[in-house]
Amino acid sequence: MIVKNLITCLQFATFSRVLVSLKSLLKKSLMKYIFTLLCITAFTFSTFAQTKVSVKTPKTQTISTSTSTQVSSTAVTEASKPAPESISLKEAEFDFGKIPQGKPVTHVFEFKNIGTIPLALDNVQASCGCTTPEWKKDTIPPGATSQITVGYNAQNDGPFTKPVTITYNGTQTKQIIIKGEVWKTPVTSAPENSAVNSLKNE
């Protein structure tokens, strides 16, 4: 009986030690499990955060691209705007009225440089050979005035309208117009007055 109780006590003590060692092992395993779980959670969170940052980066690039597109389109729009007027004409059109055929007529067009830089007339071009413009080749400072003389020698009778194009400062243009009506001169001369001749003979 004593031997049985002793064996049982020994077994109980061993079992208790096993339980205590299992308990410490379980604590260690549980701690390892919690630590592993925390590591996995932290890793997942950091990966998700990096994914969000990488997704946002193209959006930022797209915004900057669209901004640069808007800036370049604004620059193109500003570049395509017409340059401000530099010439102010006193008159853009002149009517000669009725003029005789074959008799040259002229008119002087006055203009002023209303720009902020000196003005140079590159060319003054008529639409036909019967119209002859003349102008000074000198530069006109801001605020100064100058002239273009336009001559017309009518070969054909009837109404006429002739444009003259002024090119200045390289690419800018302006137009002046002359018009009128040509009446045909008689082909034959007036008949002689015989009374005048008789008076001369007397």
Q: Is the dihedral of CA 185, 188, 193, 198 positive or negative?
A: positive
- The predicted model scores a pTM of 0.53
- Cα separation, 124 vs 164, in Å, equals 7
Burial grade of 133 (CB within 10 A; 0-12, 13-18, 19 or more) = buried
Q: What is the pLDDT of residues 112-153, one digit of tens each?
A: 999 899 988 999 999 888 899 999 888 999 999 999 999 999
Q: Where are the domains of the chain?
A: 1-81, 87-183
102 vs 189, residue with greater confidence: 102
Q: pLDDT band at residue 37, thresholds of 50, 70 and 90? A: confident
Cα 27 to Cα 8, 16, 19, 41, 176: the distances in Å are 28, 16, 12, 21, 104
CATH of region 87-183, choose from 3.40.50.720, 2.60.40.10, 1.10.3980.10, 2.40.50.100: 2.60.40.10
Q: What is the pLDDT of residues 168-198, one digit of tens each?
A: 988 889 999 999 999 887 766 656 666 556 6
Name, in order, each residue with C-beta under 8 angstroms of 138's C-beta and a sequence gap of 6 or more: 146
